[in-house]
Structure 1
């Protein structure tokens, strides 16, 4: 599979979820990969102008923008909202990754900047995020999600607005 250049935006309180995504990428048994456009040393800087300039450079390299949406993401304006604005301005395909397991927009947690922007919403789970990176497309103004059959074909169990992979069987006998 080709590597979509993806910039992942997230609240600082959700950095562990981003690190887990990096682990998905490194794990040999999960079909998940993305070209990481994240900042490295810049995140240690206090210079907002410098950080935003470096973020813009990375977003301009990306064709996709994935926002990890947690409990406080909708309230993060300084960087998270700004990154989404830059991705929208650039015309990136946008994927909203719900940390609460929702497979569609969750009005309670979704930042207003992502509403009615043609965003694909998926739960935070490796198979569906990988599928979204491969299959999400720009839509004009209507948010969207994958149909139930996409989830079931990937092995997910659906429960209302949520989708989960069943636990793996214990490998030892």
Structure 2
């Protein structure tokens, strides 16, 4: 089985958490691997349409959309919510990663666009994120899903 192609969406305030995910992926002692469809460099443009075109191209390469959910993600409509809408439209598996460590959907921080639509919610930890990327398939019964505590324990998270 090949690597999943994942686009990671996040608020600009959560860039350090995204970089930590990249470090996990680069660390030989952490079993997290995926083809990162994120833009390699920040676009030197303020043209919203151009930026969205480039993001859409990258999301169209992905089969998984990983949203890092921090304190202000819910209010990021211009790009973060739009990226999620594009990923949903494309049919990507949606994996929501709570930066506060929560293992379930947190209404106060979760953007409405990804609620009750079959996504999985996990804590920000390399083993459970890796497990979700490798194993989770979208559910079509429109709930909010999470892994049981036993899986976190088994994985060592």
The alpha carbon displacement at 1:147 in A equals 1.6
CA RMSD of aligned residues (A): 1.0
Separation in 1 of the partners of 2:40 and 2:48? 15
Inter-partner Cα distance in structure 2 for 1:142 and 1:148: 18
Q: Could you say which residue in structure 1 is the equivalent of 2:149? A: 148
In 2: Cα distance, 1:125 partner to 1:43 partner: 29
Contact 1:66 1:95 (8 Å CA) reproduced: yes
Q: TM-score of the superposition, structure 2-length normalised?
A: 0.96
User: Deviation digits for residues 45-90 of structure 1, max 9, x if unmatched?
Assistant: 2111111001101111100000000000000000000000000000
2:96 equivalent to 1:96: yes
1:2 positional shift: 2.9
- Number of positions where the alignment pairs a residue of Structure 1 with one of Structure 2: 156
Superposition pairs of residues 26-45 of structure 1, within 5 angstroms: 26-45=26-45
CA distance in 1, matches of 2:7, 2:123: 17
Q: Corresponding residue for 1:171?
A: none
Whole-angstrom CA distance in 1 between matches of 2:111 and 2:117: 11
Does residue 129 of the first structure (1) align with residue 125 of the second (2)?
no
The question of 1:86 aligning with 2:86 is answered yes
Q: Unaligned 5+ residue runs, structure 1? A: 157-173
Question: 1-side partners of 2:41 and 2:128: how far apart?
Answer: 30
Aligned residue in 2 for 1:4: 4
- Does the CA-based 8 Å contact 1:56-1:83 persist in structure 2? yes
Structure 2 alignment gaps of length 5 or more: none
TM-score for the superposition, normalised by structure 1: 0.87
Q: Which has the higher contact order (CA 8 A, sep 6+)?
A: 2
